[in-house]
Amino acid sequence: MINKRISTEKILQSLADKVVAHEPIMIASAGSGLVAKLLEKSGVDCINTFSGARLRANGMGTMAMMWPILDSNQQTLNYTREDIMPALQGNAFVCACLNANDPLKDMRMVLEDCVRMGVNAVSNIGPSISYVDKDSEIFNVLTSAGITLQNEIDMLILAKEEMDMVTVGLAFTKEDAIDICRQAKPHIFCYHAGTTKGGISGYDNGSTIEQTAAETEEVYRAVRELHPSVILVGHGAAMENPVDAQYMLDNTSGHGFWTGSSTERLPIERAVTAAAKEFTSLGFTSKALA
């Protein structure tokens, strides 16, 4: 098999064309080849691969990737190469979400592995220190051990300036968003408003879609002042379904959205549950027994 590849130049031109045409850009995460294939067929622009999506495919919550139960980068590289790339036809580009704080890997080599398999885009959410509340003891412990946002920023700079990759910066806070966009100037920036609610492993932080949109717009305005050409997308919290995503498009100044659970975990939960219930409700008929 020879996997289809999309050049960095073509990716950036396609994104620019959509911005000019005022068409929403859609990024979606996929933890399996089947989901990736269906997302591409549906017209998604970018498919993200990361250990959180792979764990979701196994029924765990995204945040399970924060525990030392796997080599996050290796899992991302392996399933991107073996499951995702062979499933695609070259219409959607793939972005690998990497852990830039991996103490056992030279991120230049990890990025080179991505490029070799045809992945010309990278994000810093695999996982990111931005997940962790800054007023917590665990944040202080992690940063004192050298796990920092700066390592993520440095990876994005390396990928963009030296390796000609498309970069997707992501942050959970306005402060981190500003740091990323000021230094790395990623092609795309995603503001992550919090874990997507709904389903078996979702988490509801109490935010409404109105609050999610307002918080996201505040960050959009701050980063646009530093990096006017950045493509902005929103993700998470109360943005659970297409109605919510439409509200985000209508009430923020962004260029699109990033879905995770909304287009992989939640639809699978609903579809499999509904189909299985139909089968488990079947019974023998008297005619069949005769």
pLDDT at position 126: 83
Cβ atoms 15, 32 nearer than 8 A: no
Quickly count: other Cβ atoms within 10 Å of residue 104's Cβ: 7
Closest to 148 in 3D by CA, of 119, 122, 117, 180: 180
Is residue 200 scored above 60 in pLDDT?
A: no
CATH topology of domain 24-272: TIM Barrel (3.20.20)
pLDDT at position 60: 64
pLDDT at position 269: 86
State how far the Cα of 263 lies from the Cα of 207, in Å rounded to an integer.
20
Quickly count: other Cβ atoms within 10 Å of residue 191's Cβ: 30
Could you list the beta-strand ranges (E) of 179-284: 188-192, 231-235, 256-259
State how far the Cα of 34 lies from the Cα of 100, in Å rounded to an integer.
27
Per-residue confidence at 59, pLDDT binned at 50, 70, 90?
low
**pTM confidence score:** 0.90
Arithmetic mean of pLDDT over the chain: 90
State how far the Cα of 270 lies from the Cα of 155, in Å rounded to an integer.
37
Q: Which residues contact 206 (CB under 8 A, 6 or more apart)?
A: none
Is residue 66 scored above 70 in pLDDT?
A: no
pLDDT at position 180: 98
Per-residue confidence at 70, pLDDT binned at 50, 70, 90?
confident
The tokens of 150 are what?
């700066």
Q: What angle do CA 222, 63, 34 make, to 5 degrees?
A: 100
Our measurement of the distance from residue 69's CA atom to the centroid of its chain's CA atoms, rounded to an integer in Å, reads: 20
Alpha-carbon Rg for the chain in angstroms: 19
Is residue 211 scored above 90 in pLDDT?
A: yes
Cβ atoms 170, 234 nearer than 8 A: no
**pLDDT 10s digits, 106-150:** 999 999 999 999 999 999 998 889 888 888 998 999 899 999 999
**pLDDT 10s digits, 215-271:** 999 999 999 999 999 999 999 878 889 999 999 999 999 999 999 888 888 888 889
Is residue 68 scored above 80 in pLDDT?
A: no
Cβ atoms 92, 111 nearer than 8 A: no
